[in-house]
Every structure is written in structure tokens, then in C-alpha cells.
Amino acid sequence: MGEKVKLFVTWSSPFSLRVIWALRLKGIEYDIVHEDLSNKSSVLVHNDQVICESLVILEYVDETWKHNTLLPEDPYERATARFWARFGDDKVLASIVYGVFVKQGKEQEEGIVASLENLKHLEEELKGKKFFGGKKIGLVDLALGWLAYYLGIFEEIMGLKLVDQQKFPSLAAWIHEFADHPVIRDAWPPRDKLVAKFIAMRETHLSKDGHN
């Protein structure tokens, strides 16, 4: 093949993981370069072409290596998948990380209401399916994959539960299915290192907002 695929990632980044998972699902060999940047953007270099932004990279990977598709073929189903992938970043991740995890008191309470509302939409979308992609992992699963590992870490650090079995049965089941999938489960960063990192991140934010 003579193809060169190189991935620049931050060890703790859930965005980087999306690309690692996509390449693993496709069975593409790659070199990985760890860079501990606070910069969120992952970078894929494929035969000297540079592609940035994890969701953009996922589509590139899917269009370049067409087996084991991440997106369905039908334009409407593709649009739906793209919508949920963006919803995951713009609403779910934003509300949980910036509305709950780095907040406290009344602000956090409001953030929890918004987060649960967003998670309810995911629960509805997932109902009756094993993965967001249906029977197999697709682009939306990769986009939301952080929920299957990082959310539990956030919950543990804060001492509160957002996704419980009773209110979110489909999402709770998906978290187990996804986190334990053979392609996914070996790629998670060390949990203790993530816990330490996110405790520090939370404290930095809370001390900055100390006047609230």
C-alpha cells in the first residue's frame, strides 16, 4: 500500500480517541505521536496531507477507506448522524463539562438540568438500538464515545450521578457495550491519570470562579 498515516494526539483527549477508534475499526495501520497540548484539535497526516478536527477527520477516514463504513449511505441517515455527532459536542459535552463539571452551587444545579435534558434526547435516539449506528458502531458512537469512560470519571470526582440505569436504561446499556467493544476497550487512557488531570482542571476552574 505504501500509505503513510500519522496521528498527532493528546493522551487525555477524547477527541483524539475518536480518530484512533476510527482507524482501528477500519484496520488502518498508523504511527502515533503523543503531544501533550491543551489544544483540543487532533491532527491526521495522510501521505503529507494534513487534516484537523476530529469529526472532520472521521468523515475523511470514512471517505478514504470505504470499508467498515462509519456513516450510512442514505443522505437522510447521514444527515441524522451528523446532527447527533454535533449535538454531542455542542450540547451534551458543553453542558456536562462547562455547565456541571467545572461549576458548583446554583450554577451547577442549572447545568445539571440542561445536561439531563440533553442526555434525554440521546436516550430517545438510542432506544431499541445497540449502538447509535444500529447493530454496529458508527460515527455517532465515536463522537459520543467519551461518555462511556470520561463521564464516569467526572461523576466520581463530583460525587454525583448523571446517567443512571433507571432514568437512562438505553444509554447505560450503551456505555457498557461501547466501552467493552474489542476495538474500543484497549485504547482508553489510564484511568488514574485521567482522574488526576480532571481533578486539577476542575480545581483551576472553581478557584477562578471563586466569587460565584
Q: Which residues lie near its own copies (CB under 8 A)?
A: 46, 49, 51-53, 55-57, 59-60, 63-64, 75-76, 78-80, 82-83, 86
Q: How far is the CB of 64 from its own copies (least distance, A)?
A: 5
Taking the complex as a whole, how short is the minimal distance between the CB of residue 52 and its own copies, in angstroms? 6
Q: How far is the CB of 63 from its own copies (least distance, A)?
A: 4
Nearer to its own copies, 63 or 109 (CB): 63
Distance in Å, CB of 18 to its own copies, minimum: 14
Question: Among residues 18 and 46, whose Cβ is nearest to its own copies?
Answer: 46
Cell of 25: 475499526
Using CB atoms within 10 A of its CB, is residue 152 exposed (0-12), middle (13-18) or buried (19+)? middle
Q: How far is the CB of 161 from its own copies (least distance, A)?
A: 30
Nearer to its own copies, 53 or 156 (CB): 53
Please, which residue, 83 or 160, has the CB nearer to its own copies? 83
| SS (HEC) of the chain | CCCCEEEEECCCCHHHHHHHHHHHHHCCCCEEEECCCCCCCCEEEECCEEEECHHHHHHHHHHHCCCCCCCCCCHHHHHHHHHHHHHHHHHHHHHHHHHHHCCCHHHHHHHHHHHHHHHHHHHHHHCCCCECCECCCCHHHHHHHHHHCHHHHHHHHHCCCCCCCCCCHHHHHHHHHHHHCCCCCCCCCCHHHHHHHHHHHHHHHHHHCCCC
| Smallest separation, CB 172 to its own copies (Å) | 26
Q: With respect to its own copies, which residue has the nearer C-beta, 56 or 199?
A: 56
Which CB sits closer to its own copies, 38 or 166? 38
Q: Which three cell numbers stand for residue 22?
A: 476510527
